[in-house]
Amino acid sequence: MSKTAARASKADTELQSELRPGQSVELLKELHILTREGRLNQDSRRKLKQVYHLFQFIEKLLRELPGEGAQATLADHGAGKSYLGFIIYDLFFSQRDGGHVYGIETRAELVERSRALAARLGFERMSFLNLTVAESAAASELPAQIDIVTALHACDTATDDAIAFGLAKDARFMVLVPCCQAEVAACLRQTKALALSRTPLAELWRHPLHTREIGSQLTNVLRCLYLEANGYQVTVTELVGWEHSMKNELIIARHTGQRKASAAARLRELLAQFGLESLLATRFRLP
* Mean pLDDT estimate for the chain: 86
Neighbouring residues of 220: CB distance < 8 A, sequence distance ≥ 6: 178, 181, 236, 249, 251
- Three-class secondary structure of residue 237 per DSSP: strand
Output 91 or 37, whichever has higher pLDDT. Answer: 91
Strand partners, 237: 250
- Indicate the domain borders of the chain: 16-281
Stretch 66-88: mean pLDDT, rounded?
A: 94
Dihedrals φ, ψ of 194, to 5°? -50, -35
Q: How far is CA 128 from CA 32, 48, 117, 168, in A?
A: 19, 21, 11, 19
For domain 16-281, which CATH number applies: 3.30.70.20, 3.40.640.10, 2.60.40.10, 3.40.50.150?
3.40.50.150
For residue 156, pLDDT over 70 is answered with no
Query: Per-residue pLDDT averaged across 183-205, rounded?
Result: 71
Mean predicted confidence (pLDDT) in 193-204: 71
Is 10's pLDDT higher than 60? no
* Per-residue model confidence as pLDDT tens digits over 210-223: 778 888 888 999 99
What's the pLDDT at 152?
86
Q: What is the pLDDT of residues 226-266, one digit of tens each?
A: 999 999 999 999 876 544 445 678 999 999 999 999 999 99
Q: Does residue 119 have a pLDDT over 50?
A: yes
115-124, Cβ contacts within 8 angstroms, sequence gap of 24 or more: 117/30, 117/31, 117/82, 117/86, 118/86, 120/30, 121/24, 121/26, 121/27, 121/30, 121/86, 123/86, 123/89, 123/90, 123/93, 123/94
User: So what's the pLDDT on residue 242?
Assistant: 44
Amino acid 259: pLDDT: 96
Q: Write down the pLDDT at residue 210.
A: 78
Angstrom distance (rounded) from CA 174 to CA 254:
7
4-8, 187-191, 224-228: lowest mean pLDDT where?
4-8
Least confident range from 37-41, 149-153, 155-159, 219-223: namely 155-159
What's the Rg (C-alpha) of the chain? 21
- Tell me which residue of 145, 151, 149, 114 sits closest to 130, measured CA to CA: 114
Q: What is the pLDDT of residues 95-107, one digit of tens each?
A: 999 999 999 999 9
- Give the model's pLDDT for residue 274: 85
